[in-house]
Structure 1
Amino acid sequence: MTETAVTKTAVTKAAVPEAAVTGAAVPKAEVPKAAVPRTAVPGFLAPLLAGATYARLLHLLVGWIFMGVILLIYPGTYGLTLGRLVAEAAAVDSALLVLVALIPAARRAEGVQARLLLVPDREQDIAVDPSGGWADRWRTALWLIGRVVLGSAVGMATVLCINGGSGLLAGPQGLNCLLLLPVALLGYGWLVVGAGRLQLAMAVRLLGPSPAERLAEAELRAERLLERNRLARELHDSIGHALTVTVIQAGAAREVGDPAFVARALEVIEETGRQAMEDLERTLVLLREAPEGATTEHPGVDQLPALFETVRAAGSPVEARVDLPAGKLPGVLSRESYRIVQEGVTNALKYAPGEPVSVRIAVQDGQLELRCANALSVGGTTAARHPGAGARKGGKGLRGIRERATLLGGEATAGPAQDGSGEWVLAVRLPLRLGS
């Protein structure tokens, strides 16, 4: 016997209770509950026992009752043949239902009722908004007419089944017909199931969101997704910058040990942390969709000097030249430019600490140009060998910068300078549109 067979035999014996091996009766309490099979309802009977089937039957009978009430008012049931009765009732009911469908609130009322009684798989498949145009009104009219026609058919079938069944049972062959009663009930039950499913399909088709509503909903989801991505970039840039400055300042303070330097480092950490908390609060306000979120201000290019001071305090000299026109930059362009520069100097602090950082912001040929450069040399080595260099090429920060530039119709590049100056250069070009 192989080792595998021995192991399998040992496991099998261990899994069997000792009482079963010795032949003793296994106590009833030790039998797992999951091992006791439950009596399952046959598949063809399950829809007949579902509560949704009878809720849909009620919805169908409401349409039949509407037709019956109108029929009693006009044209009545006296002295008319069945064909003429059906024709006149259909004409009167259709005219009334079309007039009702012209009321915008009728679509909302039908949608609410359909959600409650037709029990759709997803409530979103049946709209509860008022009619937004003539297309919605005509769809509502078709729904009302179809609902009354289908409900009337089911109602008449119900009456025929009740009258026919009672007549047969009361006749001389009633005992023999009693054996056919289960078959008749089963057939009627499946008629109700089929009619309810057809009614639900009609509701989804005619009361569901229109193509224009679906397009508007898709656009709204896309806008929300873009907003979430923008907020994610805001958090990454602001909190990432704050953490980078904090870590560098704390490490430098520990290494230097100079009380004055330590005091200055703690001051920078405090200020950076406060700014990060403000950025976080602004983002949370937007996430909560609070009314004051619309008036929340975001940092712009006018706050770049404070950002550069933070970088200088972290130990990296910054040479900044901001040459902007006298006109004020558009708000979105100012905010995005600040975030782009913030990510650029944060990368410089993270991957080339202590190295000089050069920032240039200017307008040329109708475009706003942002350039952030720092030396590739890091402690006698090059950034190509530095662990962070690979991260800068495809990290979330640079990807976020490219996304910001693309959304504004511009472009962004990052990498070693092509002129052999030994610098890492982040260059962004954004179309400039002056205004408020």
Structure 2
Amino acid sequence: MPRIFAPLFAAATYARWLHLLIGVVFVGVVLLVYPGTEGVGMTRVLTVSVLLDSALLTLAALVPATRRAEGVQARLLLMPAREELIGVSSSAGWNDRRRTAGWLIGRVALGTVVGFGTVHALAGVWSLSTQPFRQRTPAVFGWQLPADGPLVLYPLLAPVLLFALGWCAVLAGRLQLAMAVRLLGASPSERLAEAELRAERLLERNRLARELHDSIGHALTVTVLQAGAAREVADPAFVAKALEVIEETGRRAMDDLERTLVLLRDSPEGTAVEQPGVEQLPGLFETARAAGHPVEATVEIPAGTLPGVLSREAYRIVQEAVTNALKHAPGAPIVTRIAVRDGQLELRCANGRGAEGGSRRGGGKGVRGIRERATLLGGDATAGWQGAEWVLTVRLPLRLGS
């Protein structure tokens, strides 16, 4: 029972009903202007009305702003479950204009049927309800009910007719909404463009998440290690050095965080903070040395060889490798080699188990992030134990996309 009566009391039903009745108002106004209703045959009236209304609606659809106006009105009165199903942008091409014309003609046609049906149904309800006071047979949709019928029972048919009218309005409103979604919604090309935009945004968010994971994770790891070492070692010079490293690392992390937040705000200042590249690797290695890791680094990259994006991604990959060594192998020597060979950038970072004999698995977020970076750049990355060393090897083409 609730399913039968609930739609009849929903606000959306009456809002859609109003939207439908606007169509019959348009037809009525045009009909009064031309060809009129007096001295003209019904067949000619209908033919001229259909042709004239269709022509006017098609001309209106040629105006780009018509589509936007119809979309805004449809969102307000048809009350879709999700507003984005109905577009509110102006026509961008002839395909949009054709769909807008189809919407206008279909909307007015359905609204005219519902409008005339509403008027006749309400007249029938009134005729049935007042029959006992008028002592004559009622008429419904122009059809006179039998005079020899149970006249006293005819008023009981009024609620039935009203119920039927309500459900006709419900179904017509749902049909109108489906038409709006189909004809005013995004076209297949627009939906494809929107999907591509969402994919690009998702990739950008993932990239920013990796940036934060690498930079902030590295900074926190270094900070924790330096603070722990400074607490254990009662050497003022070592404590001062540790505090200096913590300060410098924190400053770099703040720069990275500021850059990322600027990008998230879509500000034109998005490039105000320069992203680190391979030129900043010596500072990264010094931080690792200050944390108690012997670092042997070899960088064989001719000046101007690496594109900017490859330089930045290479820095992040090495940073993540060093961070993993600091976390999982405290005190272990780190051997890093970065070189350009055969049109590829090769990165190799190896470290032992460390003083605590640490172990790790290859499925962590850091290694997964490195693989994602390498894949996006058209390269590959491998990581795992080779004897007593944990080795990360990354190969990236110098020409992106090759």
Q: Same fold (TM over 0.5)?
A: yes
- Give the alignment partner of residue 84 of structure 1, picking from 41, 44, 48: 44
2:325 paired residue number: 348
Question: Deviations 1:42-99 (Å, cap 9, x if unpaired)?
Answer: 4322111111111111101101111111111122222222222111111111111111
- Give the alignment partner of residue 154 of structure 1, picking from 111, 114, 118: 114
Matched, 1:312 2:289: yes
SS in 1 for 2:3: coil
SS in 1 for 2:194: helix
SS in 1 for 2:394: strand
- Give the alignment partner of residue 270 of structure 1, picking from 247, 250, 254: 247
2:217 paired residue number: 240
Q: Which letter does structure 2 place at the counterpart of 1:219? A: E
2:80 paired residue number: 120
Matched, 1:413 2:390: no
Query: 1:375: Cα distance to partner?
Result: 2.6
The number of residue pairs the alignment matches comes to 383
Give the Cα–Cα distance (whole angstroms) in 1 for the partners of residues 377 and 135 of structure 2. 84
Matched, 1:293 2:264: no
Q: Which letter does structure 2 place at the counterpart of 1:429? A: R
Seen in structure 2, the aligned counterparts of structure 1 residues 255 and 166 have a Cα distance that, compared at 3 Å, is closer
Question: Deviations 1:176-202 (Å, cap 9, x if unpaired)?
Answer: 332221112111111111111111111
Q: Which stretch shifts more, 119-128 or 156-165? A: 156-165
Q: Which stretch shifts more, 154-163 or 202-211? A: 154-163
Seen in structure 2, the aligned counterparts of structure 1 residues 335 and 99 have a Cα distance that, compared at 3 Å, is same
1:394 paired residue number: 363
2:136 paired residue number: 172
Question: TM-score, normalization: structure 1?
Answer: 0.84
Give the Cα–Cα distance (whole angstroms) in 1 for the partners of residues 213 and 300 of structure 2. 27
Matched, 1:219 2:183: no
1:423 paired residue number: 389
Give the Cα–Cα distance (whole angstroms) in 1 for the partners of residues 214 and 106 of structure 2. 57
Question: TM-score, normalization: structure 2?
Answer: 0.91
Give the Cα–Cα distance (whole angstroms) in 1 for the partners of residues 385 and 157 of structure 2. 88
Give the Cα–Cα distance (whole angstroms) in 2 for the partners of residues 172 and 250 of structure 1. 100
Give the Cα–Cα distance (whole angstroms) in 1 for the partners of residues 126 and 292 of structure 2. 98
Q: Which letter does structure 2 place at the counterpart of 1:172? A: R
Q: Is the 8 A contact 1:402 1:411 kept in 2?
A: yes
Give the Cα–Cα distance (whole angstroms) in 2 for the partners of residues 290 and 297 of structure 1. 15
Question: Deviations 1:10-45 (Å, cap 9, x if unpaired)?
Answer: xxxxxxxxxxxxxxxxxxxxxxxxxxxxxxx74322
Query: 1:211: Cα distance to partner?
Result: 0.9
1:358 paired residue number: 335
SS in 1 for 2:270: helix
Question: Identity, % of aligned pairs?
Answer: 70
Q: Is the 8 A contact 2:61 2:67 kept in 1?
A: yes
Question: Deviations 1:275-329 (Å, cap 9, x if unpaired)?
Answer: 1122122222222222312444211111111111111111112121111123252
Q: CA RMSD in A?
A: 1.8
Question: Deviations 1:190-233 (Å, cap 9, x if unpaired)?
Answer: 11111111111111111111111111111111111111111111
Give the unaligned 5+ runs of structure 2.
Answer: 139-150
Q: Is the 8 A contact 1:322 1:362 kept in 2?
A: yes
Give the Cα–Cα distance (whole angstroms) in 2 for the partners of residues 49 and 72 of structure 1. 34
2:145 paired residue number: none
Q: Which letter does structure 2 place at the counterpart of 1:233? A: R
Give the unaligned 5+ runs of structure 1.
Answer: 1-40
